Amino acid sequence: MQSSNWLMVVEMKVKKTIYAIVVSLLFASSVSAKEVDIKLDSSKAYAGAGFSVNSGSNSNATLSAIGVQLFAGYDLDMEFFENTKTIAEVGYAFSDARNGLGLTGLQSYAYNKNVNLQGRLGLDLSGNIGIVIGLGAQIKLSERMDFRTEFLIRDNISALQGSVLYYID
C-alpha cells in the first residue's frame, strides 16, 4: 500500500470516528432534553474570527488552502448533562477551497473552569448544502476572550482551525 493510500485510509477512519462521537453526543442530548425556557441575554452572545488550514480532494485534484472565518454564537442556556451547554452558531468562511455560510450547533462540556471540549454538527451552505461535523477544545484567555481549536469535516474538505472568541457582555 502506498503511503498516500494509507493516509487516506487513516483519514477516513478518523472522520468516521468523529462522525460517530458527535452524532452520539447530539442524539443523547436530544433524548435527555429537559423543559427549556429561552430568553435572549447579551452576556451569552459572542463573536469570533480565525484562520483555518483546509485540505481535501475532488475527482480532478487535491485541494489545500488557508482560510479565514467570521462567526457569532449564542449559548442557548440548555444543560442536557452536568457541566454541558448547547450553543447555536452562524459563520462565514473564506478560502480557495470553499466560501460560504455555516449554521451549526455545539455541545460544550466544561472539562474544568478554563477548558471546554466541544462537538459540532450543522449545515454547510457553501455551494451544495452539506453536513459539517467536528471536535475541538476551547481555552479561556480572559473573562471575555477564549481561544478555540477544532478539526472539522465538510463533505470532501477537512479543516484544522484556530479562532478567538470575544464575549459581547
Q: How confident is the model at residue 45 (pLDDT cuts 50, 70, 90)?
A: very high
Residue 97 sits at φ, ψ, to 5 deg, of: -80, -35
55: which 3 cell numbers?
Answer: 485540505
Amino acid at 100: G
Helix (H, G, I), strand (E, B) or coil at 96: coil
53: which 3 cell numbers?
Answer: 488550514
Q: How confident is the model at residue 1 (pLDDT cuts 50, 70, 90)?
A: very low
Query: What pTM, to 2 d.p., does this model score?
Result: 0.73
Domains annotated for the chain, with CATH where assigned, are: 3-167 (2.40.160.20)
**60-99 pLDDT tens trace:** 667 788 999 999 999 988 877 888 999 999 999 888 767 8
Q: Are 113 and 126 in contact (CB under 8 A)?
A: no
**119-156 pLDDT tens trace:** 999 998 877 678 999 999 999 999 999 999 999 998 77
**106-121 pLDDT tens trace:** 999 999 999 999 999 9
